[in-house]
Structure 1
Amino acid sequence: MLLSIVLPAYNEEQNIPNTVKVLTGMLTENAIDYELVFVSDGSRDATFAQIQKAAAENPKVRGAEFSRNFGKEAAIFAGLSLAAGDAVVVMDCDLQHPPEVVLEMWKLWRGGAEVVEGIKESRGRESLAHKLSAGLFYKVMSRLIKMDMNASSDFKLLDRKVVDVLLGLPERNTFFRALSFWAGFRREYVSYQVQERQFGESKWSTLSLMKYAVTNATSFSTLPLQLVTVMGMISILFSVVLFIQTFVKYLSGTAVEGFTTVILLILVIGGFLMLSLGVIGHYIARIYEEVKGRPKYIIRRITDVRQREGT
């Protein structure tokens, strides 16, 4: 049985050699047949050169390079399409996902699990702003997709049948973590603590995380569209209350000039309208991207010729 490990990489030239060394040593020691599948997501450094070097030294190492930066979601799905294993693990290239947990996942899969989720016990050393924004993101996403994602991550093992299901989905805007929940199948869990990076810095900023949250929320849930209706109802209720207040004052002879009230009403309704148009516009943009039917990613080159269909 073959275990594939998919490792998305963006500007990780310093981490590639160490990652290959650690994973190769661990899997060889435990007599697990494996392949390492690296995907360079339009890296601007020598990431792919390091992948090529590792592949030349070890035939079990494979890799691909995108024509530009398409994002981590695209890199994950490219790795899944290239992976040939009976089971596929997706993990970070910087080894913040502990390699030894892969062995636990492998054992659970051999025991019959079809999806093994890596659950974070802690987020490691991060800034307060990043922790707060990440916590808010997972709480919002949990509400949107009605699944508990507070401690979820991309670190997970998928059975081949699950990989084939995900690769068969026609949508272009994908959210790997949520789709792996949505697909179902028999699920087991392992916990882990996020490790510190040995080289380089995290590529995720608070701003990029917010953008990632908005994109994935609208690609996986229609709840934001329903909020437009809620805002409309609030606006109508606010208008009715102001109308009743103004009418009562008029009847009692205490009515005053309503300039301020009118301005406030216009501002509130205008704000709701602009926000609603923004939400609707974002969904129209998602529809536009899906209708165009462009591929999730474009592979510029690979380390061998065993590329599978699916881009």
Structure 2
Amino acid sequence: MKMENKRAGGILYLVVPCYNEEEVLVHAAEVMRDKLGRMASQGIISPKSKIVFVNDGSSDNTWKIISDLCGCDDVYSGLCFSRNYGHQSAILAGMMAAKEHADMVVTIDADLQQDIEALDKFVGCYQEGCEIVYGVRNDRDTDGFLKKLSANMFYNFMHLLGCNVMSNHADYRLLSKRALDALAEYREVNLFLRGLIPTMGFQSDIVYFDVKKREAGRSKYTLRKMVALATNGVTSMSTRPIQFITILGFLVSLFSFVMIIYCIIDWFSGRNVPGYTTSLVVSLLMGGLTIFSLGIVGEYIGKIYLETKARPRYIIESVIWKESKDTAQKGNGEANAECAD
């Protein structure tokens, strides 16, 4: 149910995780600033809204570009990790830095494939009373065959193993200050925000958007990273693999018991049937199942090990943060020209 009284336009912070994004960052910054300026001039958001870039240990000139942007306009702020901690940690760091200043935070990728014009809909849902708004893509027409295949396999795999993730939702979402305060109470070292945020249970809504083609650079979510994200998500949010092992163990035990009865009957009947093939197949099956099961259990033990050590989820090496002037104070063309220089 929506709230009858709409919230006023609040302070919006865009959180942008960046890893080797030098090819697209300047253009993306201009587009984001222009969008915030237009929304502020229309009274949709506060003129104090900002853009927060989080440099996730980039090896190119990403941090230098962020520093230059922050120097040319106070609407930009930047955080720099001491090393690469991963996309999820970069998103969390930006949100935690913004939650003391913003009424709402939207996370968006630096390549701007996620339609930034959908921000009006996100804020509209927030003003109607939603604490969390999920961005869901309409289709995957812009993806290549392998990317589309791996993405579909990812979501099917997550659903099969009991992870409550929303299909075709990446990390384009809005969180209110209330939701951010609740998220700050979660202390997991192994972060999987796509599964973690829905567990908070606040009033939420969905905004559908079209995905654009990437203008420059390459996607940082390789197949290896997708597999790592899926593994981390399953072991962080579900115990179903352990339940599968239990069921599988029971079925193998039942099969073994039947084979034992069969062998005893065969022995008493006096038949001398060579058992080399049967022994080999059973040995290989049992050995493979044992090693596979130990691997799954080991993943969970490894997660427990990391959680008990309670190491920091990220370390921030540098911060560029200034109190923002009104985003609509300067003409957009003037601001963009300064940043482009």
TM-score (norm 1): 0.94
1:30 aligns with 2:30: no
User: 1:146 Cα shift?
Assistant: 5.0
Between 242-251 and 181-190, report the one with greater CA deviation.
Answer: 242-251
Between 161-170 and 143-152, report the one with greater CA deviation.
Answer: 143-152
Q: Secondary structure at the match of 1:122?
A: coil
User: 1:193 Cα shift?
Assistant: 1.8
Question: What corresponds to 1:88 in structure 2?
Answer: 105
User: 1:255 Cα shift?
Assistant: 3.8
C-alpha RMSD of matched pairs (Å): 1.6
Distance verdict in 2 for CA 1:217–1:110, change over 3 Å: same
> Counterpart of 1:37 in structure 2: which amino acid?
V
**Structure 2 unaligned spans of 5+:** 1-9, 324-341
Question: What corresponds to 1:64 in structure 2?
Answer: 79
Give the counterpart of 1:6 among 5, 11, 15. Answer: 15
Aligned length: 306
**Structure 2 CA distance for aligned equivalents of residues 24 and 305 of structure 1:** 16
**Structure 2 CA distance for aligned equivalents of residues 127 and 263 of structure 1:** 43
User: 1:305 Cα shift?
Assistant: 7.2
Q: Which string of whole-angstrom CA distances, capped at 9 and with x for unpartnered residues, describes residues 252-285 of structure 1? A: 4434021221121111111111011111111111
Q: Secondary structure at the match of 1:247?
A: helix
Question: What corresponds to 2:296 in structure 1?
Answer: 279
User: 1:68 Cα shift?
Assistant: 0.8
Question: What corresponds to 1:309 in structure 2?
Answer: none
Structure with the greater relative contact order (CA < 8 A, sep ≥ 6): 1 or 2? 2
**Structure 1 CA distance for aligned equivalents of residues 31 and 146 of structure 2:** 32
Question: What corresponds to 1:298 in structure 2?
Answer: 315
Whether the aligned pair in 2 keeps the contact of 1:141 and 1:149 (CA below 8 Å) is no
Whether the aligned pair in 2 keeps the contact of 1:10 and 1:47 (CA below 8 Å) is yes
Question: What corresponds to 1:76 in structure 2?
Answer: 91
Give the counterpart of 2:226 among 182, 188, 209. Answer: 209
**Structure 1 unaligned spans of 5+:** 307-311
Trace 1:134-283 onto structure 2 (pairs within 5 A): 134-145=151-162, 147=164, 149-283=166-300
Question: What corresponds to 2:328 in structure 1?
Answer: none
Between 255-264 and 85-94, report the one with greater CA deviation.
Answer: 255-264
**Structure 2 CA distance for aligned equivalents of residues 173 and 285 of structure 1:** 10
Q: Secondary structure at the match of 2:225?
A: helix
TM-score (norm 2): 0.86
**Structure 2 CA distance for aligned equivalents of residues 144 and 194 of structure 1:** 28
> Counterpart of 2:205 in structure 1: which amino acid?
E
Q: Secondary structure at the match of 2:138?
A: strand
Q: Secondary structure at the match of 2:30?
A: helix
